[in-house]
Structures are given as structure tokens and as C-alpha cells.
Amino acid sequence: MAPNPTRSRTTKAPEDRRKDLLDAGLRVFCDKGIKEATISDITRAADVAKGTFYLYFDSKDHLLAALKERFIQSMMSEAFSLLSAVGQDDWWELTDRTIEAMVDFPLRHPEELKAFYFQIPSSPETQGILSESDTRVWEMATESIQAGIDAGVFSASDPALAAMFIHEAIDGAVRHRIMYGIDIDRDRLVAAAKEMARKILAPERLPLQSATVPRSTG
């Protein structure tokens, strides 16, 4: 047993090196869990020396923060491009597109989800990042719904919570699919989610206050 084998010294553009490390970090965090992942694991996966890591990140926590940052960025940019791309002529059409994005985005990023939703927030500072983005997404959704209500198309006595429910419902379902390996077809998920959203946002028509349950449940 002897210390590591020597690697041939290679130089890369800093952004590429950084990206290598981010990618390696993500992979390792997902595979072993954040706690179990070591810097060695990461540098090995990135095929660089351990010391190189510290040329690009101050610490493991900083790598984690950078990873979250990157994830949030792509999420937000996708959200914005959605909102601007969709022709905003039809409220229900917009709703459908949004639902699809809510399902498809996490399905395209299962690794990040596993890492970020199911792992320790290492430090108080990085703690809030996901929360912050969630909050921003929530606010955007709330505004959209409010606008739909103002337009007389949607109905919800508590738009903010309606937005949160829809968001969490879909996120939760997708998370289940990803984490627990529960097999739910993407299309089925989208269809059901659309129905849910439409019903929640549809003009009220509350059910009769008392639908008596038949005497025998059996």
C-alpha cells in the first residue's frame, strides 16, 4: 500500500475544470450522499489531484452551494423562458404548459433532486437557497393565478395557497416517483395534474354540503 499513483499533469481552461468538478461533485453527492462523499471521491471522479479542488472551491460546502446555485439558475431561466414563450392568450393553455414544466423539469434533473431534496443542508447559509427559489417560484405562480382571477377566468379564495398547493402537489408526486421508484407514467402524471389544477382554479361550484354516505360502507 502506498499513496496515490501519479497523474499526468494537464492544464485546462478554468471554466472547464470548474465544470468538471461541479459535475463530479453532483455525481458523487448523488451516489454516496452528501455526508458520505469525500473530497477524494470528488477529485477522483473529476480526475484531478486533491489539491486542485481547493484551487476552485474554498471548501466542500462551497461546492455544494455552487451546485445549488447552478441548479437554481437553470430552473429559473427555464421558468422565465416558459412564461415568455407561451403565448399568453389563453389562461388554461398557460396553466397546462406550466404543469408540464413542473413535471418535466425535475424529471430531467433527478440527480439534483435526489441530492438537494433529500440531503442535509450543510450550513445555515446554503440552507436557504432552495427555499429562496421555491419562494420565488411560488410568488410567480401566485401572481399568475391572481391575474387569472382578475381576468375572471380562475377562482380561488386564497390564491397564494392555491399556488402553493398545486406546486407542492406536483413536486411531491414527482419526488415520489424519483425517490421511491414508484412507477407512475409521465403522461398519466401530467394528465392528472392538469385535471387537478383545472379543478382547483375553476370557478367555484362547491359540492352539496351533505352527501350522505350509504349506510353500509362494505
Partner DNA sequence: GATGAATGAGGCTTCATTCAT
Partner DNA sequence: CATGAATGAAGCCTCATTCAT
64 and 130 Cβ atoms separated by less than 8 Å: no
> Between residue 196 and residue 215, which ones bind a second copy under the rule CB under 8 A?
196, 198-207, 209-214
> Between residue 73 and residue 102, which ones bind DNA under the rule CB under 7 A?
none
Give the alpha-carbon dihedral of 127, 129, 132, 137, to 10 degrees.
-130
> Between residue 16 and residue 35, which ones bind DNA under the rule CB under 7 A?
17
Cβ proximity to DNA: between 6 and 216 the closer is: 6
Minimum separation from the CB atom of position 111 to DNA (A) = 19
137 and 167 Cβ atoms separated by less than 8 Å: yes
Does position 180 interact with a second copy (CB under 8 A)? The reply is yes
Question: Which x/- pattern over 96-115 shows residues binding a second copy (rule: CB under 8 A)?
Answer: --------------------
Query: Which position among 36, 90, 93, 168 is part of the footprint of DNA (CB under 7 A)?
Result: 36
Neighbouring CB atoms inside 10 A of 29's CB total 25
Q: Return the one option of DNA, a second copy, none that residue 68 interacts with (CB less than 5 to 8 A, by type).
A: none
> Between residue 130 and residue 159, which ones bind a second copy under the rule CB under 8 A?
131, 134-135, 147, 150-153, 156-158
Q: How many CA atoms lie within 13 A of 109 on its CB side?
A: 22
> Between residue 66 and residue 95, which ones bind a second copy under the rule CB under 8 A?
88-94
Does position 189 interact with DNA (CB under 7 A)? The reply is no
| Closest to 92 measured CA to CA, from 207, 185, 203 | 203
Q: Going by C-beta distance under 8 Å and a sequence separation of 6 or more, which residues neighbour residue 37?
A: 25, 28, 29, 31, 60
Cα–Cα distances in Å, from 172 out to 82, 88, 113, 169?
Answer: 21, 27, 11, 5
Minimum separation from the CB atom of position 186 to a second copy (A) = 12
Query: Which position among 19, 23, 52, 70 is part of the footprint of DNA (CB under 7 A)?
Result: 52
Query: Which position among 27, 60, 148, 209 is part of the footprint of DNA (CB under 7 A)?
Result: 60
Minimum separation from the CB atom of position 50 to a second copy (A) = 12
Cα–Cα distances in Å, from 118 out to 71, 107, 176?
Answer: 15, 15, 11
